[in-house]
């Protein structure tokens, strides 16, 4: 897959850390990687954004950012309030396609969830994925409430004819509760998509060297890693229905 679109089921689900893990694992497999942040919000000029965080954790990746807005809002709203031009889906697709001519893998990280608006016309990351004909990896939360948002995201992708590559849990707790343990079975059931990984909570605090060494263990072979979903369920959710 030369281009992989990475979205979350919402904000603060671990999307950037998962993007870094995918990048680090691809680099370890000998692939060249570019990371495209479609629209960065809530970050001032000169401050490191999500793409820079991916590079810090993952290693030597090419980074690109199409637009940056200072307020932590949806991109369309942030652009309007800042009096700046918005990002449009076709611009995201064009930038990703160009990067794909120069790299083995291009990771396109969205802002928030799949249908967060980029522009006043209602353009979204889903539209960009459609223009690219690219698979979409969904980063989801582990615990209570995740089934609804994850199933809705999966349904929207399928309604648009987009390829749902799979799910990655963005922050797996050290001591998972009953809901999290049950969700290891329920998430793939309600979405009809495979679990392709689970990133431990707090992974962003690891040193870059430790992050890069561990990342392949968090992701399934389809993402160049060695993570085994059945072994993970056996270890983390014994006795869960």
Catalytic residues: 37
C-beta neighbour count of 178 within 10 angstroms? 13
d(CA 176, CA 162): 32
Calculate ∠ Cα 95-110-214, nearest 5°: 100
Residue ranges with strand state E in 135-184: 136-140, 164-172
Enclosing H/E stretch for 36: strand 33-37
Beta strands in 74-151 (DSSP E): 105-113, 136-140
How far, in Å, CA of 75 to CA of 150, rounded? 21
Rounded to the nearest 5°, which phi and psi values hold at 165? -65, -35
Q: Write out the two tokens for 70.
A: 């200072």
Q: For residues 140 and 170, what is the distance between their CA atoms, to the nearest angstrom?
A: 6
Comparing CA positions, the residue from 28, 240, 3 lying closest to residue 131 is 3
Place of tokens 């229905």: 241
């Amino acid at each position: 897959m030369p281009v992989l679109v990475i979205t979350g089921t919402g904000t603060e689900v671990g999307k950037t850390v998962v993007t870094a893990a995918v990048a680090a694992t691809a680099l370890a497999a000998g692939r060249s990687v570019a990371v495209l942040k479609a629209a960065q919000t809530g970050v001032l000029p000169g401050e490191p954004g999500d793409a820079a965080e991916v590079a810090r954790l993952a290693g030597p990746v090419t980074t690109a950012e199409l637009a940056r807005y200072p307020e932590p809002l949806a991109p369309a709203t942030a652009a309007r309030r800042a009096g700046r031009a918005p990002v449009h889906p076709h611009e995201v697709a064009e930038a990703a396609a160009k990067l794909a001519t120069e790299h083995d893998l291009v990771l396109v990280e969205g802002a928030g969830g799949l249908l967060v608006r980029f522009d006043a016309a209602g353009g979204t990351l889903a539209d960009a994925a459609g223009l690219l004909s690219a698979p979409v990896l969904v980063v989801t939360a582990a615990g209570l409430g995740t089934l609804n948002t994850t199933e809705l995201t999966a349904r929207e992708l399928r309604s648009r004819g987009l390829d749902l590559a799979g799910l990655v849990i963005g922050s797996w707790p050290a001591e998972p509760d009953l809901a999290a343990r049950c969700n290891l079975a329920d998430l793939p059931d309600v979405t009809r998509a495979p679990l392709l990984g689970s990133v431990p909570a707090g992974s962003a605090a690891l040193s870059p060297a430790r992050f890069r060494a561990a990342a392949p263990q968090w992701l399934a072979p389809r993402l160049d890693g060695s993570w085994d979903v059945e072994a993970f369920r056996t270890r983390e959710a014994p006795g869960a229905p």
